[in-house]
Structure 1
Amino acid sequence: MSLAKMIYEKTTSYLDTMPKTERKKIGQFFTPAAIANYMAGLTRSSGNIVSVLDPGAGSGILSAAIVDVLISKGVKEIYLDAYENNSDILPMLKENLTLIQRAAQDRYVALHFNIFEENFITENHFAWTGFINIQKYDIVIANPPYKKIGKRDAEASIMQDIVYGQPNLYFLFMAMGTRLLKDGGECVYIVPRSFSSGLYFTAFRNHFLNEVRITNLHLFTSRESVGGSGDNVLQETVILRAAKKNMRPDVIEITESSDESCHITNQYSVAYDTCVRKDSNSFLFFPSSEDDAQILNFVNQWPASLPELGYRMKTGMVVDFRETTWLCTDNKEEVVPLLWAYNFHENRINFPVEVDGKPQYLHNVQETNRLKMRKGNYLLLKRFTSKEERKRLQCALLFEEEFPLYDGISTENHLNFITKINGHMSKEELYGLFVVLNSSCMDRYFRILNGSTQVNANEINSIPFPAHRDLVQMGITAMHKTSLNDSDCDDILRNQFMSIAISQVM
């Protein structure tokens, strides 16, 4: 039996005494033994002496796994620093590390361990600020706590240069762990994939991907039970290994498994620059096949973002529960149409629609001017879809002439809309944007980038789009089509770019 398996079995008795709701409050989710062993097996450090950091040690499962692996590599002396400030689990951690130490001694390996009963971030704040130069670990291995904290909390204040919006402890642990690595050292993390895109994580991604180079990604094709011990963490989770080196590797090795057993069901290599975008957003992509890599390479060759082309995606204007005073269900008074996700019908807007008495109109008074949009041509997208739905990007064309009786319109907050920054969006432009965003190619690209069911305006504004002349040409072609489903959009896209490679995967 592996050391990690032994420690994990001891941990289950602890879990029986601690309600899941209590563990969730502090972001405590234990690593299954199979995952811990897989993570430890990704490490490449060797030699006579190796130093290890486990910054969220819990009951010591990851520590056990990495010690097991290092012993098997012939390492003779291991220095392990474990951080854990949960007083409930500390007695078990001390007992388990002592047990691991004895097991190592039985195999003629000296394990020296220190347990720091302190907050990992605050205890190392001088290392983060550069006041003290501390780079002392060959390996950092961690399942960081998943917990949102306040922007004024001590951890966020110390690491404020990578914090935007509401921070989460897991990415602060990732950043601090890499700061403490020696040059040439390596880190292995199991974390939610949410850091890979989105505005809130931009500063962190820029920092992290500048500090280390990712060499391995492991993807789980199911969300179920990856948290272990019945935790059922719903975040899509990834394992990554990265090395603290300046030189980028040529490829990232990607593996997949269907569950926490980490039994490899798929394995392939993807060019580093395909997974890691070289721009101010530093998006990190998780392709799940070579076909996905082709999609990424095809889209990433496009020259400009929406704002660079003169367009911008924005989020719907009306948060319904904040504006109840101004919402109404009929048009007997001075009103403007209020569009919701349920107004979508076959890529067009069906208005009005009676749905559970939900208001379809917004009072057209001076106080609601801030919530109004000028009449014009818009491309609408749903902000949220369910994970079971076939498409993540769901679009609807909105034409100015569809609302002749009103001097404006409005959109509910569960919608996004694309508008022209200056001037009027022509129908050719509108149809061209629709072809791109309604295509299976762009839908797949977005799914590779974003593992959630939310369509974020910042992400759409940041990803590449075809040049304006290509958008217009595709729009002209689309306007003459009798139907415009995603298959039709794929055909137009293929014909515009004459891409043999993309034809094989769309």
Structure 2
Amino acid sequence: MHLTIDTDNNNDIFDSIAEISKKASSSLSQSDKRKFAAYFTPKQLSNHLVKVADYRGGKLGDKGAGGGILSASAAARHILSNSDKPCFISAHEIIPQIREFLKQSYRVVSNEAKSLNKAFDTEINGDFTALADEALSTKYGDYENIIINPPYFKISPKSEVNQVIKKHLGFTVPNIYSSFMLISLHLLKQEGSLTALVPRSFFNGLYHKSFRQYIRKHYSIDTITRYRSRSNAFKYENVIQENVIVKFTKRAQVPEIKIFTCLNPDSAPEYEMNLRSELLLNNDNDIFALPADMDELNAFTRMRRLPSKLESLGLTLSTGKVVEYRHKQSLNNTNSGAMYIEAKCLETNYDTYRSKYSKRSHGNALDINDNTSNVLIEAQNIILIKRISSNSDKQRMNCTVLLKSQCTSEKLAISNHIQYISGQALRDADFALKIAKHLSSYDVEMSMRVINGTTQINSADIDLIRFPKKKRNNKNKSALDQNLCGTKDFKE
């Protein structure tokens, strides 16, 4: 049975709440929206969040509440049900003018509750992170449900909220949304749930590793909703970010996680899977894997069954060392010095290296001097991988082989927007081409979408990729012992 999005088109209360939220959003300037990362939840997305949360009365939290569309809608849905369990909302909203809209939303629900003789009450507070010390000191909270669409911006390990988190939990988090999640999780009673609309970025990456380990130890991930398009969740705010809806419960991890895949927030889930939690949460790199459908899942499974890692093939992954703004004075367009490979000039539609024109290019060579000697490598056969792809790219794994014979100098300089694979085994050009071909294969491309929700390829992501084992062919050269995994090839 598929989860359907409840639009409640026949009930004025939900339309009224959504309209108040729209007015709250419109009341903020674009600069204030950026300052507070105040991007309000659209109605259809709110409907899905509320349906997943399945609030059935008791203490309900909405942290970073905005105009209150999440908590007010959840409370209204409960009040209109057959349950007589009282409803109490504890909300936090840092922007004073937005708190006035929040009060309006709650008045709409309060009026409905009075007409039905249902118990409903609220409290509205300011900065949610000010609650961190109290919340993290508590072993068990008193919330049945919390629903959040928290702000999103980077925070320093030395920030006030991170110092509190480190004092209690021994680690820090890289983004404000992660702190909202941690504090909210600590406020839950046993079997209480948090439903969060958050960036997918905490699913992988080194900076969120301790956060993931903590979640896996203390909470269950019950459901995840994934949207195929990165820009769909907040398309009206021009926010480009892959978001997910995750429901956590304060209990041991359930054996299976339900995955919903939607084209966009306005559509019902087009795909639904129940997958073993061990498959998604337990791996040697401590990431949370997230397939959108069986094609991605099967590709990921096939790839992970292969026997070899880069290191077992005698290969090493590195990131280019040239930071362009730091070496601007040493870059030139006269081929003078070390051959420079820049991401925006790297053509990856061919098996071997080709450069392409970019009017924003910083140059084709780097002067060799005392200031640049530490960023250079020897000319050799290497595999080049773009670290960042555009949102519109069909393929995330953009790679090609640079042969030593193509190098125009004895030293190479590589942009830090490029990762490269090197090693003695790549002296065999055929082997280098086969490794690059494998990285460009259908299964690896699909696996990268399971592993990583961003357009940036991290070293930890590549470390999860598996390869066929190496053998020696009849000409005493290195080779891969089987065909590329997968049934499709992205490169024409």
TM-score, normalization: structure 2? 0.86
CA distance in 1, matches of 2:477, 2:267: 45
User: Quick check: 1:204 aligned with 2:211?
Assistant: yes
CA distance in 1, matches of 2:309, 2:476: 22
Partner-residue secondary structure (3-state), 1:234: coil
Q: Deviations over 1:433-455 (max 9, x none)?
A: 32321212101111222232222
Aligned residues of 1:381 and 1:394 also touching (Cα < 8 A): yes
**Alignment partner, residue 130 of structure 2:** 122
**Alignment partner, residue 34 of structure 1:** 44
**Alignment partner, residue 8 of structure 2:** none
Deviation at 1:292, TM superposition (A): 1.2
- Amino acid across the alignment from 2:412: I
**Alignment partner, residue 35 of structure 2:** 25
Shifted more, 172-181 versus 5-14: the winner is 5-14
Could you tell me the percent identity over the aligned residues? 23
Q: 1:144 to 1:391 in 2, by over 3 A?
A: same
Q: 1:331 to 1:291 in 2, by over 3 A?
A: closer
Q: 1:248 to 1:309 in 2, by over 3 A?
A: farther
CA distance in 2, matches of 1:140, 1:189: 8
Deviation at 1:327, TM superposition (A): 1.8
Aligned with residue 149 of structure 1, among 155, 158, 165: 155
Shifted more, 360-369 versus 170-179: the winner is 360-369
**Alignment partner, residue 374 of structure 1:** 378
Q: Deviations over 1:62-113 (max 9, x none)?
A: 1112112333261421222111121111122223223312312322321232
Q: Deviations over 1:270-303 (max 9, x none)?
A: 3323322333x32122212111111122222345
CA distance in 1, matches of 2:251, 2:145: 13
**Alignment partner, residue 16 of structure 1:** 26
**Alignment partner, residue 62 of structure 1:** 70
- Amino acid across the alignment from 1:433: I
Aligned residues of 2:25 and 2:39 also touching (Cα < 8 A): no
Q: 1:355 to 1:297 in 2, by over 3 A?
A: closer
**Alignment partner, residue 332 of structure 2:** 328
Aligned with residue 415 of structure 2, among 409, 412, 415: 412
Aligned residues of 1:336 and 1:363 also touching (Cα < 8 A): yes
- Amino acid across the alignment from 2:161: E
Aligned residues of 1:478 and 1:492 also touching (Cα < 8 A): no
Q: 1:471 to 1:173 in 2, by over 3 A?
A: farther
CA distance in 1, matches of 2:141, 2:226: 29
- Amino acid across the alignment from 1:454: Q
Name the Cα RMSD after superposition. 3.0
**Alignment partner, residue 289 of structure 2:** 285
CA distance in 2, matches of 1:156, 1:3: 39
Deviation at 1:399, TM superposition (A): 2.8
Aligned residues of 1:429 and 1:472 also touching (Cα < 8 A): no
Aligned with residue 241 of structure 1, among 238, 244, 247: 247
Aligned residues of 2:17 and 2:73 also touching (Cα < 8 A): no
Aligned residues of 2:472 and 2:478 also touching (Cα < 8 A): no
Aligned residues of 2:442 and 2:487 also touching (Cα < 8 A): no
Deviation at 1:127, TM superposition (A): 2.6
Aligned residues of 2:63 and 2:150 also touching (Cα < 8 A): yes
User: Quick check: 1:168 aligned with 2:175?
Assistant: yes
TM-score, normalization: structure 1? 0.84
User: Quick check: 1:5 aligned with 2:24?
Assistant: no
Partner-residue secondary structure (3-state), 2:225: strand
**Alignment partner, residue 435 of structure 1:** 437
Q: 1:82 to 1:211 in 2, by over 3 A?
A: same
User: Quick check: 1:314 aligned with 2:318?
Assistant: yes
Aligned residues of 1:372 and 1:409 also touching (Cα < 8 A): yes
Aligned residues of 1:431 and 1:479 also touching (Cα < 8 A): no
- How many residues are paired up? 472
Aligned with residue 447 of structure 1, among 446, 449, 469: 449
Deviation at 1:225, TM superposition (A): 5.0
**Alignment partner, residue 3 of structure 2:** none
Q: 1:325 to 1:275 in 2, by over 3 A?
A: same
CA distance in 1, matches of 2:332, 2:297: 48
CA distance in 2, matches of 1:269, 1:475: 46
**Alignment partner, residue 460 of structure 1:** 462
**Alignment partner, residue 102 of structure 1:** 111
Q: 1:361 to 1:382 in 2, by over 3 A?
A: same
**Alignment partner, residue 89 of structure 1:** 98
Partner-residue secondary structure (3-state), 1:139: strand
Q: 1:343 to 1:233 in 2, by over 3 A?
A: closer
**Unpaired segments of 5 or more residues in structure 1?**
481-488, 495-501
Aligned residues of 1:146 and 1:169 also touching (Cα < 8 A): yes
- Amino acid across the alignment from 2:133: H
CA distance in 2, matches of 1:40, 1:434: 45
